[in-house]
Structure 1
């Protein structure tokens, strides 16, 4: 077995489903370690356990797993010499009580489950340890009745605490202390009985500060009137802790002395939990215990894939008796892959001791090795194509197989040129056959199907297909040859009959039509017509888009002989080829009739100055006169 097989067949997913029926962590841990066995005796024993567990459940039996929990972490402490605390000892007691109840229950199931019942004989009862723990510990603490000395000390502790409280109550009710007290309560702080005192009066009160509040406004003081009693109480508490420790150490010692037998009980409880989880799963799927063999004979009757729910077409399948290799053909989405996965997963399930959903007389072969090549194995990390990845997988499988191997191949030889792929697939199938493998492979290649028909130890099978509705029926028909139904589907899709007839001929004799096309059917190139220049006559004032700037400007001067247009853009004139312009709006659409277009190209300052001169502005005239004098001086 290898991880690829488990992953492709979804074995781990099935194991998780069965594991969910466990009631304790003990059984779940065993499931995590469970692997399919290739030993026929081991597999038979596992299936017998599951069947006996199912018989108990079917008879109305209810295994008393209540109180049984995983105590491995507690046992680990004992191995390190750690004294157990009260709650841990109670867990040990609960576990031992659970073992006792399960033993009592299982010994009474000899009629339904002789094998499982015999396991109970190896379990040990520890009634005395249970009683000692339950007598000494109550409510998760050591009980006073555990020893006379503990009872005496706790009585003295109670008396001392009562005296302290009486004196503190007198302190609270004294009028002399009224102004000092923050709250009129007795507060237990750091194993001391204290009074909340206002921080400003802490020096006026005789006693010891035990704690200060977070804001500092209150100090918790133990008044000197109870100082001596508080010291006596501390000594009594120390003595109490020592006595409790001695009792816990004694109880822990009782457990340690019987640790070997307790570990055996743990193993048996784990086994029972796992076995009854398998039995519960069997009851849920109405499973059966299949017959088993170790010579490769597989016979599935009305078998269902363990992970499929709802309406599932049951599988009828056989191999090993009369032929050792089966070639499955049929259309895509016809169920070939599910057939392969069902065969593989029910085999792994049986080898793990799981019941399967099938009819009586179903028979499963136990294999030493199971290999699969299913799905797209393209490797991004290694840059391998799908075909290369399949070949790498098949190469590794070829080196590991023997005559006790089950092989499941989906679309063997696919992913490359059909002739080469089919030839390579046939050669591989021959090699696997020569090594004694049981092989089930699906394919689209007709050559592989024909090879299978010719080989006496190979058998063809087809996935049934409804030719009227073009729907797969998901039924495997052994002894029949399937095809991809390409021609049938094409006929349904109204492909011309003459095309389909010619395709059928090519499938038989490969004599292709090689005539050249009639000249009358060939399109001739048309005469080249010189492209008319559709250039635009840009006019002054047109709004245009400058393609190189992705912005707009105004035409100032029409295009010259070189097809360049003068454009007013961002207060300057630039020359732009007409191919780099796009007309947005004509001038007549932008400006009213009679509009002075020249004013659009003159700066505001210049237009204002001209306007001032026209209306006889002295300031404007002085400005012009000044510019004239400056020009003469320069």
Structure 2
């Protein structure tokens, strides 16, 4: 097997679903490591374990596997000489109790589940260690009854604390201290008894400052009256810690003495967790154990892909008895790829010990290898096209395959020129056939279908298609070749019947119509007569349209050597190429013969001012005089 096979067939996704049924990390770790086995006996044993667990699930309302946890990391700590904490010891006690319960449960299932029953013989009881831990530790701490010395020390601690609290309560109730006290309660800071004193009176109270509040307004003082008692309490606390350590060390040591056998228990519990997870998965899909063989024969009866949900069309499939290579044809999106993936994932599932959703009579072969070439393997990093990447993959598959290999090829030979692709695909299929491989391939190429028809050890199969509603039926029919239904679709789209008949004719015998079209059907060329453009020399005063501005102006000056004309437009003279203007009216047509064209380029206000000067207007003369003076001043 290789990672591409697992990836394309979604094997790891299947394992994730099974893993979700585990009750501990022990079973999940085993499923993470699980790989399909190529050994027929191993696969048989795996399936038998799953079947026995499924029977127990169906018969029992409860399986005593809850409360089991992974304690491997705690065992590693013990091997390193570390002392376990109370909570860690409780976890080991819970695990050992779980082992004892599951052993007791399985010991009574000898005739119902003999293999799983046999596991229980290898599991050892450690009830004495359980009881010792549970006696010594309660509420996540070492219990006072764990030893006489610990009980004595804690009694002294209780008396010392009682005496300290009594003195502190007297201190708080004393009227002499009332002014100093911030709040009237006893506070423990770092296992030392203190009272909260106002910061401004910290020097008025005899004692040791243990802590200051975050705002600095309160100091927590251990009064001098209890300092000696607090010191004695500290000694007792140290003695308590030493005694607790001794008890924890003793408990840890008793576990370490049996660590090898406990490791065996861990392995067995992990196996039980994984096997029952497989059984729960089997129950969720109403699975069954198929027959097995090691000679490449696969027979699927009403099988379903384990990852697909909803209204799934079950698959009936067979290979390895009357033929060793199957060529599947049919329309796009008709389910060909799903067929390949279903065959692949069901085989991997069975080789991993998983039940599959199928009917009785289903049989699965155990292969040395399962290789797939499905989907677009284009690689940008390696500059490989889709076709190149397929050929690279097939080349690697060819090097690794044996006579006990299952091959699943989707659209074999595609991605290149059809004739070459079909020929290359046939050659590849022949080579794998000669190597003794079991091959299932999908294709659209008619040449491959025809080759399969004439080869005695090849078989065609078709994905059924409802031609009336133009919809795939997702059902495989072995022994019949299908097509892409292009003609059916074209007919439904009202393509001319004549075209469809010719297409069918070409499909059948490749006898193409090479007659030339009749001369009367060909349109004659029309000779265009192109007249030379008549040039015009624009004259001063001509009215022209400025094409860029979509507005009108008057020719101010005739064209220069560069064919530019000066045009009076919006009280300005602009230069425009003659190609960017269009004649709207000649000056000779617009004005009388003796008309002074210069007035065209003078604004109305200027013409009125000139007229006022000529008629002796005082206002105009005054304006002229004013401008003269202004000019003299400047």
Structures share fold, TM-score greater than 0.5 = yes
Contact 1:539 1:555 in 2 (8 A): no
Deviations 1:451-502 (A, max 9, x none): 1111111111111222222222222111112222222332333222222222
Q: CA RMSD, aligned part only?
A: 2.9
Structure 1 residues 573 and 247, CA gap change in structure 2 (3 angstroms): farther
Contact 1:54 1:280 in 2 (8 A): yes
Return the offset for 1:26. 0.7
Which residue pairs with 2:219 in the alignment? 219
Which residue pairs with 2:129 in the alignment? 129
Q: Partners in 2 of 1:326 and 1:474 — Cα distance?
A: 17
Asked if 1:566 corresponds to 2:567, the answer is yes
Contact 1:554 1:567 in 2 (8 A): no
Structure 1 residues 438 and 544, CA gap change in structure 2 (3 angstroms): same
Contact 2:89 2:133 in 1 (8 A): yes
Contact 1:541 1:597 in 2 (8 A): no
Give the 3-state SS of the residue equivalent to 1:219 in structure 2.
strand
Structure 1 residues 505 and 201, CA gap change in structure 2 (3 angstroms): same
Give the 3-state SS of the residue equivalent to 1:176 in structure 2.
coil
Deviations 1:21-79 (A, max 9, x none): 11111100101000000000000000000000000011124211122111122222112
Q: Partners in 2 of 1:237 and 1:130 — Cα distance?
A: 28
Give the 3-state SS of the residue equivalent to 1:175 in structure 2.
coil
Q: Partners in 2 of 1:618 and 1:204 — Cα distance?
A: 105
Which residue pairs with 1:70 in the alignment? 70
Give the 3-state SS of the residue equivalent to 1:222 in structure 2.
strand
TM-score by length of 2: 0.89
From 608, 616, 628, the counterpart of 1:624: 628
Which residue pairs with 2:412 in the alignment? 412
Structure 1 residues 619 and 597, CA gap change in structure 2 (3 angstroms): closer
- Alignment coverage as a number of residue pairs: 603
Gaps of 5+ in 2: 583-599, 607-616
Q: Partners in 1 of 2:217 and 2:76 — Cα distance?
A: 49
Deviations 1:332-386 (A, max 9, x none): 1221111111111100000000001111111000000000111122222222221
Return the offset for 1:195. 1.4
Alignment of 1:169-180 (within 5 A): 169-180=169-180
Structure 1 residues 117 and 575, CA gap change in structure 2 (3 angstroms): same
Q: Partners in 1 of 2:315 and 2:267 — Cα distance?
A: 38
Deviations 1:571-615 (A, max 9, x none): 964323476689xxxxxxxxxxxxx9965999xxxxxxxxxx974
Alignment of 1:50-89 (within 5 A): 50-89=50-89
Alignment of 1:237-316 (within 5 A): 237-316=237-316
TM-score by length of 1: 0.89
Which range moved further: 489-498 or 373-382?
489-498
Return the offset for 1:260. 0.8
Deviations 1:522-547 (A, max 9, x none): 23343436589899x99999997968
Contact 1:567 1:576 in 2 (8 A): no
Alignment of 1:600-611 (within 5 A): none
Contact 1:565 1:578 in 2 (8 A): no
Structure 1 residues 164 and 428, CA gap change in structure 2 (3 angstroms): same
Contact 2:546 2:580 in 1 (8 A): no
Return the offset for 1:190. 1.8
Which residue pairs with 2:11 in the alignment? 11
Return the offset for 1:89. 0.5
Give the 3-state SS of the residue equivalent to 2:176 in structure 1.
helix
Which residue pairs with 2:497 in the alignment? 497
Q: Partners in 2 of 1:601 and 1:517 — Cα distance?
A: 76
Return the offset for 1:509. 3.1
Alignment of 1:144-543 (within 5 A): 144-528=144-528, 530=530
Alignment of 1:565-584 (within 5 A): 566=567, 573-577=573-577
Structure 1 residues 183 and 426, CA gap change in structure 2 (3 angstroms): same
Which range moved further: 289-298 or 194-203?
194-203
Deviations 1:292-325 (A, max 9, x none): 0001111111111111111111111111112111
Deviations 1:255-313 (A, max 9, x none): 11111111111111110011001101111111110000001111111111111111111
Q: Partners in 1 of 2:485 and 2:57 — Cα distance?
A: 49
Contact 1:22 1:274 in 2 (8 A): yes
Contact 1:292 1:366 in 2 (8 A): yes
Q: Partners in 2 of 1:123 and 1:159 — Cα distance?
A: 47
Deviations 1:129-179 (A, max 9, x none): 011110110000011111111111111111111111111111112222222
Contact 1:19 1:28 in 2 (8 A): yes
Q: Partners in 1 of 2:23 and 2:188 — Cα distance?
A: 43
Asked if 1:38 corresponds to 2:38, the answer is yes
Which residue pairs with 1:605 in the alignment? none
Which residue pairs with 2:28 in the alignment? 28
Which range moved further: 429-438 or 614-623?
614-623
Which residue pairs with 1:590 in the alignment? none
Structure 1 residues 54 and 621, CA gap change in structure 2 (3 angstroms): same
Which range moved further: 554-563 or 45-54?
554-563
Return the offset for 1:553. 9.6
Q: Partners in 2 of 1:297 and 1:511 — Cα distance?
A: 42
Q: Partners in 2 of 1:218 and 1:540 — Cα distance?
A: 102
